[in-house]
Amino acid sequence: MLFLPVQSPPQLHIPDGFLSVPVAAAGWIVAAICIGYALLKTRGQLGEKQIPLMGVLAAFIFAAQALNFPVAGGTSGHLLGATLAAIVVGPWAAMLIMTSVIGLQAILFQDGGLLSLGWNIVNMGILGAFTGYGVYQFARRVTGDGRTSLIVAGALGGWLSVMLGAAATAAQLALSGAAALSIALPAMLGVHALIGVGEALITAGALLFINATRPDLLRAGRAATGSRSAIWVLLALVIALGLALVSPLASPDPDGLNRVAADLGFDSEAQAAPYEILPGYSMPLIENPNLTKIAAVGIGTLVVFGIAFVIGRIGARKKIAA
């Protein structure tokens, strides 16, 4: 990761071949559930304008990702756009917009794989949208609705969204045994801390522009669907990510999963080969600890999500009733 040129836009598209099937499947499950929910919510929020609005904004994000500015010595800053989209149209619509962009990039340009598309959507779209929006709502509570909250939300939210995406990518690679977490995580975070600056500046600049020219659009974004639950969703995602990072991966051994499995006595490699003719025979697919662990992470994520939602809902209802 340290060798990657800094001038790429937040380059978190994981290609095929890196993620193990259980990890990739978990990503698809999370993405599918979020997308399904987002489709419902945006239909309520946007009505008939759903398709033209999200379609054109998706094209905008795609085109805007090409807009750059020189950072230092030949490198340039770029935009991922999840945070910006979320603040303008709300997190759920932003999520669908990013899903479309990331999906198109994968299918048409092979920017990211098809099996790994699930996590790519989560890392760059969902995490990004909710981070940005969560920071924005938080900033608004502290500093009101003026330019300050926009700058903070744009800059901090934008930067965090890139960092969380990078951390999540490192986690997924490590969980799949494709990288050593102890090296990948700091490397990813390090590189993207710089890339995130580009995101921060452009997002803040764009928000200030929109605020100066059409503040009514930002007002609409503030009241968008998901505005109240956004902070909780963000918290849920961050906790889940933290758990994934901490659990079997603390060891520098990239084989973290298998190692834990061995420790727990599920060591399949030590089993006697069923066929004497072929010593060392193993069926990685039926390695129980692998599947269980990943299923656990996937389910765990969804459970935390669910709990967070319920809390968010109760909180919102109380606020209305008050």
Partner 1 sequence: MHHTIDVSDLKFSYPDGHVALRGVTLSIAPGEKVALVGPNGAGKSTLMLHLNGILTGEGDVRVCGLPLTDGNLGKVRAAVGLVFQDPDDQLFSPTVFEDVAFGPLHMGVPEPEVRERVARALAAVGMGDFAERVSHHLSAGEKKRVAIATVLSMDPEILVLDEPSAGLDPRARRGLISLLRELPQTMLISTHDLLLVRELFPRTAIMDHGQIVADGPTESILNDPELLEAHGLERMWSLADR
Partner 2 sequence: MHVHFTDQYRSGSSLVHRLDPRIKVLCTLAFILTAALLPPGEWIHYGLLLIVPLLGVVVAGIGPGYLLKRSFIALPFALAAITLPFTVPGPQVTLPILGLTVSIEGAVRFVSIVLKSWISVQMAILLVTTTTFPDLLWGLRALHVPRVLVSVVGLMYRYIFVLADEATRLMRARAARSGEVEGHQSGGGIAWRGRVAGGMVGSLALRSFERSERIYDAMVARGYTGEIRHFAPPALSADDYTILVTLLAYLALVLATGLLFAR
Restricted to residues 235-274, the positions that interact with partner 2 (CB under 8 A) are 252-255
In whole angstroms, the minimum distance from the beta carbon of 132 to partner 1 comes to 21
Is residue 283 involved in binding partner 2 (CB under 8 A)?
yes
Binding partner of residue 273 among partner 1, partner 2, none, CB cut-off 5 to 8 Å per kind: none
In whole angstroms, the minimum distance from the beta carbon of 209 to partner 1 comes to 5
Binding mask 32-71 for partner 2 (x = CB under 8 A): ---xx--x---x---xxxxxxxxxxxxxx-xxx-xxxxxx
Is residue 14 involved in binding partner 2 (CB under 8 A)?
yes
Is residue 102 involved in binding partner 2 (CB under 8 A)?
no
SS (H, E, C) the chain: CCCCCCCCCCCCCCCCCCCCHHHHHHHHHHHHHHHHHHHHHHHHHHHHHHHHHHHHHHHHHHHHCCCCEEEECCEEECCCCHHHHHHHHCHHHHHHHHHHHHHHHHHHHCCCCCCCHHHHHHHHHHHHHHHHHHHHHHHHHHHCCCHHHHHHHHHHHHHHHHHHHHHHHHHHHHHCCCCCHHHHHHHHHHHHHHHHHHHHHHHHHHHHHHHHHCHHHHHHHHCCCCCCCHHHHHHHHHHHHHHHHHCCCCCCCCCHHHHHHHHCCCCHHHCCCCCCCCCCCCCHHHCHHHHHHHHHHHHHHHHHHHHHHHHHHHHHHHHHHC
Is residue 184 involved in binding partner 2 (CB under 8 A)?
yes
In whole angstroms, the minimum distance from the beta carbon of 94 to partner 1 comes to 23
Is residue 43 involved in binding partner 1 (CB under 8 A)?
no
Is residue 69 involved in binding partner 1 (CB under 8 A)?
no
Restricted to residues 167-226, the positions that interact with partner 1 (CB under 8 A) are 208-209, 212-214
In whole angstroms, the minimum distance from the beta carbon of 72 to partner 2 comes to 7
Binding segment for partner 2 among 125-133, 282-290, 293-301, 307-315 (CB under 8 A)?
A: 282-290
Is residue 317 involved in binding partner 2 (CB under 8 A)?
no
Binding partner of residue 69 among partner 2, partner 1, none, CB cut-off 5 to 8 Å per kind: partner 2
Is residue 141 involved in binding partner 1 (CB under 8 A)?
no
